[in-house]
Structure 1
Amino acid sequence: MESQDLRIFKCVAETKSLSKAAEVLGYVQPHISQRIKNLEEELGTKLLIRTNRGVTLTNEGEALFNYAQRILLLMEEAKAEVNPNKFKRSLIIGASQTVSATKVPSLFSSFLKEHRDIEVKIKTDRKQVLQEMLSYGEIDGLFLSGTYNEAQFETVYHYAEKMVLISPLYEAPEEKDQPTLLINSDGNCIYRNRLLEFSKEHHLHKANIMEFDSLEAILQGVRDGLGMSVVPASVVKSRGDMKSIEYQELSEDVHIDFVVKKGKQRSQSLKKFIHFLESL
């Protein structure tokens, strides 16, 4: 059994699909199928059951998957232990652009002061995409707000974030009656949804909607007088270029969870990060 065979098998098991595993690993599907076939022939047993919806693990496949997770983690940790100058322990965390704006970088900064041997990377994308990445094993953990698949993931840490309504400091009277709402294009963004709720609560029926793909674009839009938005309070308080903006703190908080995949073997890097979060 080669380590690459185990990596391929592990990816197929996590994605529940030969084609998705091929996409994640950068191979063509026939190559993935052949490597799995070779592994089954070597072990003399069936590891996968192929269906129209993808693949499921046999009992023997479940047993190998558990071993594969542990073996591959131990291999990575062994390399980092033997030659830490060449092989750093890695930690890949996902977060939306809004969530990752201030709090997450601050957490990483404090964590890395204690663990200089760990290389931390952050992946930003839409909430649904990040959940898929966590499911496929492409990231180790994920900061998110709102609901998530509790059957697949579990919360190991959470915190509350204040929200503020921001708007241009100087507005014409007609702009107050018919404001423009600057929102994130991600339909799952908690700040987008809170702004839309705010417009309904205050009967802003004539409000225009303008979507942006990034937090920076939204902030610049408010600075330039395009309209109003809802963002994390920490974003406003951490910046010195917000003089042309007025803001109002909203009464409710946003609750952010750090979730990991249930049943997945946790690396030493992830264990240390979770321990760090729990000590805050």
Structure 2
Amino acid sequence: MFVSNLLRSFIVTTRNKSLKSGAEQLYITKSPLSRRIKILEERLGCNLFLRGRDGVDLTHEGKELYDAISRYYDELTLLENHFMNKFTPANKPARSSHGYSISIEHCLHDCLSNLTHSQLRVISQLIYRDFNNEITQELLSGELDIIISNKELQYDKSEIAIASYKTATINIVKPKIKPLSQKSIIIPATLLNILDRTDINWRQELKKNLEDIDEAEVIITPEIKNHLSSIERGEVIGLISSQSLKPTDCKLNNIILCPLVINQHSVKIEIKIYFLKKRERIIEEFISVLVSSWFFVKE
């Protein structure tokens, strides 16, 4: 195995924000997962998680570790699955025949985390990575059943089908009490990548939504929830997807969420789902589950 159980446990727990959900994804119980995390923390000499009633959050050291290794983890996981499939005997399936092998664009992790966690029973393999080349061969090889991206990827139109949907709304996080000054806008790096790929000048349009701001510095951060107290005090304003910040995360009473509105419409994140045309009928069953559970708007 290319990825150690300790590292896999750390990544899965981080992305689920819960030891219980992480254990379910790894097909183990909560106790051995906790032991793995404890061993990793002892080897590194620092705490990686803050444990609370509602789940776990990364410490500063945990965030630093996750940001440094998450992309490499996804790439190693993809290679691991590739070679396991390649060298596994034909009479022994390389992965479960039940469910779909799905790869999601790395920057969509926060936006689609609720969706993927709610559909774990029909997902046999879940990989987060970046796509920069033609994806036809990856789908034809059978390594992946579905690719989800917010980019227009290159593919063979005779072999590959595509469905486009709009999903999570982009929200402005701001204080309830009108602040005296707001000089900075905080935005997660993943959401910045998504916005920069749109055709809109979102920075200019954002100013129209915020009458108090003429010029504002954009600050990139891995996680906006660490800055909620600054937002509450009116020092900064944040941008976040509606799926990244749950109501239970907003424990401060003086923060409100409002959609980013452009041309009288709230801005939603568009995703594209790629799959083989010959499997269209089967894949559409899976997509219908996503649509019904997540209220996607088809393009």
The TM-score normalised by the length of structure 2 is 0.47
The TM-score normalised by the length of structure 1 is 0.49
